[in-house]
Chains A and B, each alone.
Chain A
């Protein structure tokens, strides 16, 4: 399937249904369980690692214009972002701003795009 119909089917089947199933389960479970089991710990670990893998892919194989920056700049900027997050008392916003500003700064110094 191609075109807009295919895109809509993909979004609904591989995007909406696959996501909503966990939200549905959440409502269902909210009425009966305490959410601190070993299974949930494992699920938490897998979900965390998956998002980390997603970030790593976006850094190693970046989309669009992000690919014009150097790999070292992306890795370095991300590390500085995490450092800033802790330096500024675990502020997510500070970390994100630091990461993006660092990418700009490092790329500019390296004479990037």
Chain B
């Protein structure tokens, strides 16, 4: 995770928009794919609605993670607002930590403990992104390029790591092919087109097979 935020900082440096958008997106989006989409489209000066739609689509994948984490920490009859605060910090890393580290913790202690982990992680990642940003400035060009490459590598490999169904692999392939094709025709909407068309194709093809078998 630290490596991917160093990569993110280097990527923000490469976009030549200053460090601030990188830090703000870390604080408020706190999910790397959405952050990369946001800073990329900001650098391109994309239309507001296109940015909002693309970011929200990357964030859909947080929904099942939040459902899983919240159902392992919530208490019957306790106030709900701490859960809505905790939700802001939930992304892949917190989800993994919750899966591994919560079993031996008493249920009432789980929400404050995870909140502490979330805030600590966020503070560390602000430092990591800044580190990447300044490293990218002072490293030889090839090393800086490799630093930027950390982020897409992490995303791509993570897709394979979390793939469970044939549909997931098909969606990876379809998105990777349709996205760049769409980039030629609708540069603002390539991610939306790649996601919606590629994902729907993958879903429909495998659903027919699921039903056929």
Contact = CB atoms under 8 A, between A and B. Distances in A.
Interface string B133-165: 000100001111110111111111111110101
A10 B50 CA distance: 12
A74 B149 contact: yes
Contacts, number: 323
Contacts of A51: 33, 58, 61, 155, 159, 175
A44 B87 contact: no
Interface centre among A7, A42, A54 (most CB of B within 10 A): A54
Contact of A45 (B51, B158, B168): B168
Interface residues of B, number: 105
In terms of DSSP, what is the predominant structure of the interface of chain A? helix
Classify chain A: how many residues form its interface, as a range.
35 or more
Interface string A12-36: 1111101111111111011101010
B145 A43 contact: no
Contacts of A26: 62-67, 70, 87, 90
A48 B175 contact: yes
Nearest to A17: B52
A81 B158 CA distance: 11
Contacts of A77: 149, 153
A34 B173 CA distance: 29
B149 A55 contact: no
Contacts of B148: 62-66
B74 A99 contact: no
Given A22-B63, A35-B67, A65-B136, A14 B55 contact: yes
Closest 4 CB pairs of A and B: A64-B14, A26-B66, A53-B179, A53-B194
11 contacts: A7-B21, A15-B35, A15-B38, A16-B29, A23-B59, A23-B62, A26-B64, A30-B70, A56-B177, A59-B152, A99-B149
Interface of A: 4, 7-8, 10-16, 18-27, 29-31, 33, 35, 38, 40-66, 68-69, 74, 77-78, 81-82, 85-86, 90, 92, 95-96, 99-100, 103-104, 107-108, 112-113
